[in-house]
Amino acid sequence: MNDQNQENTEISAEDALIAKNRRAGLIVFGVVIAMVGLSFASVPLYNIFCRVTGLAGTTQVAEDLPQTILDREVTIRFDSNTARNLPWEFEPEKKMVKLKVGERGFINFIAKNKSKQPIAGMAVYNVTPLKAGKYFTKIQCFCFDSQVLQPSEKVNMPVLFYVDPKIDEDELMDDVTTITLSYSFFRSESEELEKAMEELYESK
């Protein structure tokens, strides 16, 4: 009887150890899956976070224009950059526009693939001064979406935007007369793009 009880005890201990190891394995597996999922979702999640908070000079997004247009005017400047490993031409049609607060603004960026192979690129953007980010609102934009250009293909990338009239209610914005909208294009899923996203995040 004692031998049988000892054998049952050993079997129970072995089962418990197997169950414990299985749980540990499942936890590790779950952590790995979560990390992989977050890595793929990092760009859209960061984009949503910045849109809500206005951090890193990130602009807001809307579907319609505001009902109010103020007499206050703001100069909007446009800046464009491309990563060294992205053989594209990328620039705005105009360097600047002047518009009233609440008025619809429009700028067209032109991108061209100078290589002999299809290349996917993705744009990271912000505005300066950074504090103006929460008042600069885009209705249409190409940012944070992968853009594939065929060899020698040239495309238009329009941006519709406005400056929110609420900027006039913020005393910290009284000195803002010029806002610069900047876009930097990188190869999609490249180390340069990840580094740019990390630097943008760490800056805040």
At how many degrees (to 10) do helices 2-53 and 191-202 cross? Answer: 80
Q: What is the mean pLDDT of the chain?
A: 76
pLDDT for 12: 55
Continuous segment of H or E residues that includes residue 22: helix 2-53
Cis amide bond preceding 129, omega within 30:
yes
For residue range 108-152, list pLDDT tens digits in order: 999 999 999 999 999 988 899 999 999 999 988 776 678 899 999
Q: What is the pLDDT of residue 17?
A: 46
What is residue 97's predicted lDDT score, i.e. its pLDDT? 96
Q: Can you list the domains of the chain with their CATH numbers? A: 55-202 (2.60.370.10)
Cβ atoms of 80 and 183 closer than 8 Å: yes
Using CA atoms, how far apart are residues 78 and 97, in angstroms rounded to an integer? Answer: 9
Low-confidence ranges of the chain (pLDDT < 70): 1-64, 143-144, 196-204
| Secondary structure element (H or E) that encloses residue 124, with its range | strand 119-128
d(CA 132, CA 38): 29
pLDDT recorded at residue 188: 85
